[in-house]
Structure 1
Amino acid sequence: MSRWLPEVDEVLEASGWTPGRQVDTGRWRSMFEAVGLAMHDAAEAFLQEFGGLTVNVRGAGISCARTPFELDPELAWGEDDRFAEWGEWIGHRLFPLGELDHGRFFLGIDEVGVIYLVETWVASFGPMPQAMEHLVLGVAPRRIDEEYEPAGQPS
């Protein structure tokens, strides 16, 4: 039995995913650890299974448009401070997963397997495997940064 609806399986398989897929995450681990962003177990497990996939979904979704996403942490290279700051704010370590909507937003994962949209604000797609369904089927993430004040901004 799949952990997703059949439509999600179909979309992921069309993107190159197969059950039991194993991708070497060493390059991503080395890159980000060199700038102080450690890859935790949840990030490694996710990227081993889904790293390198480009998911080209489009059209109407459940609560927002279906938006393409690419699962390659290198697409968030240079944004380590953004992931570190938001991780500190939410109380979980965030590791980059890639980008959503052709670079408009970044995707990250915390150490308990929750997937986030990361920008100048942050929102949650929920925990895996539900988060993957939300991404594929067009379920809007829940914004969680409403009380956040960036450093140096007046209250």
Structure 2
Amino acid sequence: MIKKSEITKQILTNSGWYPGRKIDIKRTVDFLESKGYKLFPCVVDMLSEFGGLNCSFTRPNGDRDSFYIVPEEAYGDYYEKEDFIEIELRINEQIIAIGEARDSNMIMFMSESGKVFGEMGYCLVKFGDDIFDALETLCLVLPGEEIK
């Protein structure tokens, strides 16, 4: 359940989310398992409610922004599980790529504990301690917490 701002709720609703949403994620689970992942319960829960969403919106300054929760698109033909080991070492947790954020400029990850991160180059940002905090950070275009 979204527990944050009306702006966040509106962006998600406009993108196809609704209270109680629960989609079939078998294809996504199969894809992630084919990449060598054993899915964390928090990722399964998050994908069931928010998987497949592609959120596009206007920032307060008038610029466009977007994020999506589609692991298959985040990995594309470019990435494998091994490509993200350095991030796991930095945060001391296993992660799974779940989408892209900041108008497709950052890969988005969820950790085993449910924290959500974004990474671009060597810049690593924590969007939130759970998916709900992360959605608020993304929808309100908050900076997140930089991870050194």
* Cα RMSD (Å): 2.0
Q: Which runs of 4+ in 1 moved over 4 A?
A: none
Q: Cα gap change, 1:25/1:84 in structure 2, threshold over 3 Å: closer, same or farther?
A: farther
Counterpart in the other structure of 2:145: 142
TM-score normalised by L of structure 2: 0.84
Report SS of the residue matched to 1:43: helix
Higher normalized strand content (fraction of residues) = 2
**CA separation of 1:113/1:41 partners in 2, compared to 1, >3 Å: closer, same or farther?**
same
Conserved 8 A contact 2:66-2:104: no
| Separation in structure 1 between the aligned mates of residue 41 and residue 2 of structure 2, nearest angstrom | 23
Give the aligned partner of residue 124 of structure 1. 126
Greater gyration radius: 1
Change (3 A) 1:125 1:66: farther
* Alignment check: 8 A CA contact 1:66 1:136 kept: no
**Which residue does the alignment assign to 2:37?**
37
Q: Distance in 1 between matches of 2:84 and 2:129?
A: 18
- Aligned equivalents of 2:87 and 2:41: distance in 1? 19
C-alpha spacing 1:23/1:84, structure 2 compared with 1 (3 Å): farther
The answer as to 2:18 corresponding to 1:15 is: no
- Describe the shift of the 1:2–1:34 C-alpha distance in structure 2 as closer, same or farther (beyond 3 A): closer
Question: Which residue is 1:98 aligned to?
Answer: 99
Percent same amino acid among aligned pairs?
26
Whether contact under 8 Å (2:101, 2:138) holds in the other structure is no
Distance verdict in 2 for CA 1:28–1:18, change over 3 Å? same
Number of aligned residues: 142
Distance 1:85 1:27, change over 3 A: farther
Amino acid of the structure 1 residue aligned with 2:45: A
Which residue number in structure 2 is paired with residue 72 of structure 1? 70
Structure 2 letter corresponding to 1:70: Y
What residue number does 1:53 align with? 53
The Cα of 1:72 is off from its aligned counterpart by 0.4
- Partners of 2:36 and 2:50 lie apart in 1 by 23
Q: Which runs of 5+ in 1 are unaligned?
A: 147-155
Residue aligning to 1:114: 115
CA drift of 1:66 comes to 6.8
Residues 30, 85 of structure 1: CA spacing in aligned structure 2 closer, same or farther, 3 A cutoff?
farther
Secondary structure of residue in 2 paired with 1:82:
helix
